[in-house]
Amino acid sequence: MKFIIPILVSIILSVTSFAQQVETLVPGPSTFNDGLAVDMYGNIYASEYYGQTVTKITPDGETSIFVSGLDSPNGLAFGPDGFLYIPNVGTNQVFRVDTTGAKSVFTTIPQPSVVHFIDETTMMAGSYTSNSIYTVNLNGESSLWHSGSPLNGPIGILNDDSGYLYISNFTDGKIFRVDSSKNFEQIADLPGWLGFMTMVGENIYASAYNRNRIYKIPVDGSGATVFAGSGASGGIDGPLLEATFNTPNGITTSLTGDTLFISQYNTRSLRMITGMLTPTSIHDKNDAPQRFSLKPNYPNPFNPETNISFSIPTAEIVKITIFDTLGQQVSVLTNREYQAGTHDIKFHGSHLTSGIYYYQITAGEFNQVRKMMLLK
């Protein structure tokens, strides 16, 4: 393998922040509007409430119907067996769907709204209309876990490594932290209806359905803040608080936690917020980087996606190529002109096997190679 690896140039930083941007992965109208889940290969699955299907979306945004013949599928989840579990409101059932899309009845729950596995053997399922939550074992046998106040249209269930549950209500926008003794502590009260919620690190991210915003809620109960969305209705991409949403509903994370995916109910489209975990350099619009630089990809190791960031002082044609350990090219990530500044590109390795890979950047006379590891 004949690579010339130059000495790493210093990176001139003006401000360190998170390069979080709102983007559109699937423009609407598509075939989904509701709950989301991600499989081990990075594919996204999206349900169609008041519809009959669940759609499969590749990391590149290609869509196909994964399973049909449903009746208002709602909040989805993958189980420890790798199968997709679908609350089917219209038939009071939770379906288990294998990798081919074949479905079978797993359990019966009155109008199930959401399912979530809290460990390898226990599912929790919310019942929207009865304000109840059930536990379900691997044999599909259910038992009532809690019913009544403060549940008010339960639509979200999460858990953390400390043994806490986090439960959210659609109707009143409240989020609760629940201990092992079933003590409910309110940690958020979002305005309007709450779509769904997901967790990245020590923070919950929840969609405010009719306020067109995404909220961030620390699990320590220190208070909710607007994370993304100006509040206006629309589909404008861009910086977090300048972008617009239209009835954000389903929300989930990529396997790495670096990307949020958000379904929009009215427009039946899929938005995403990138750079959730990636610190990058942000420069003043009139202050270009002083030198070329290629930062280490993040996360590393990764599965199945990672972020590659580079800075260029002048407009250049930038080519980034991926090689295996034998020096064989496996992908050309980009090969086009970029303006001066710092740029971030996602690399999806779902089609590759586990192992060490190299990425090489060439831009004018600048040439550099770095190593990354894919772990599946």
Asked if the model's pLDDT at residue 287 lies above 60, the reply is no
Q: 145-203: per-residue pLDDT in tens?
A: 999 999 999 999 999 989 999 999 999 999 999 999 999 999 999 999 999 999 998 99
SS3 90: helix
Question: 280-374 domain in CATH 2.60.40.2550?
Answer: yes
Nearest to 314 by CA among 270, 366, 357: 366
HEC states along 168-179? Answer: EECCCCEEEEEC
Per-domain residue ranges for the chain?
20-274, 280-374
Asked if the model's pLDDT at residue 2 lies above 50, the reply is no
**Which pLDDT band holds residue 26 (cuts at 50, 70, 90)?**
very high
Q: CA-to-CA distance for 182 and 145, rounded, in angstroms?
A: 9
User: What pLDDT is attached to residue 339?
Assistant: 84
User: What is 21-79 written as a DSSP string?
Assistant: EEEEEEPSS-S--S-EEE-TTS-EEEE-TTSS-EEEE-TT--EEEEE-S-SSB-B-EE-
Judge contact between 94 and 139, C-beta under 8 A.
no
Q: Is 200 exposed, middle or buried (0-12, 13-18, 19+ CB in 10 A)?
A: middle
User: What pLDDT is attached to residue 289?
Assistant: 62
Provide the residue type at 307 as one letter.
Answer: N
User: What pLDDT is attached to residue 311?
Assistant: 87
**Which pLDDT band holds residue 17 (cuts at 50, 70, 90)?**
very low
Per the DSSP assignment, residues forming a β-bridge with 310 are 294, 343
User: What pLDDT is attached to residue 134?
Assistant: 98
Judge contact between 268 and 5, C-beta under 8 A.
no
User: What pLDDT is attached to residue 19?
Assistant: 62
Q: 41-89: per-residue pLDDT in tens?
A: 999 999 999 999 999 999 989 999 999 999 999 999 999 999 999 999 9
User: What is 213-254 written as a DSSP string?
Assistant: EEEEEETTS---EEEE--SSBS---EETTT--BSSEEEEEE-
Beta 123-127 vs 132-136: how paired, if at all?
antiparallel
User: Distances from the Cα of 46 to the Cαs of 85, 140, 336, in angstroms?
Assistant: 12, 23, 33
Mean pLDDT of the chain: 89
Q: What are phi and psi of 87, to 5 degrees?
A: -70, 125
pLDDT (average), residues 345-366:
88
Say what percent of the chain tops pLDDT 90: 70
Question: 20-274 domain in CATH 3.30.499.10?
Answer: no
pLDDT (average), residues 353-369:
86
**Which pLDDT band holds residue 248 (cuts at 50, 70, 90)?**
very high
C-alpha 305 chain-centroid distance: 12
pTM for this prediction: 0.72
Judge contact between 342 and 33, C-beta under 8 A.
no
Instruction: Pick the range with the lowest mean pLDDT from 19-33, 144-158, 198-212, 355-369.
Output: 355-369
Say what percent of the chain tops pLDDT 70: 91
Instruction: Pick the range with the lowest mean pLDDT from 121-135, 139-153, 286-300.
Output: 286-300
The CB-based long-range contact list for 224-229 (8 Å cut-off, 24+ gap) reads: 224/175, 224/187, 224/188, 224/189, 224/190, 228/20, 228/22, 228/273
* Radius of gyration, alpha carbons of the chain: 22
**Which pLDDT band holds residue 16 (cuts at 50, 70, 90)?**
very low
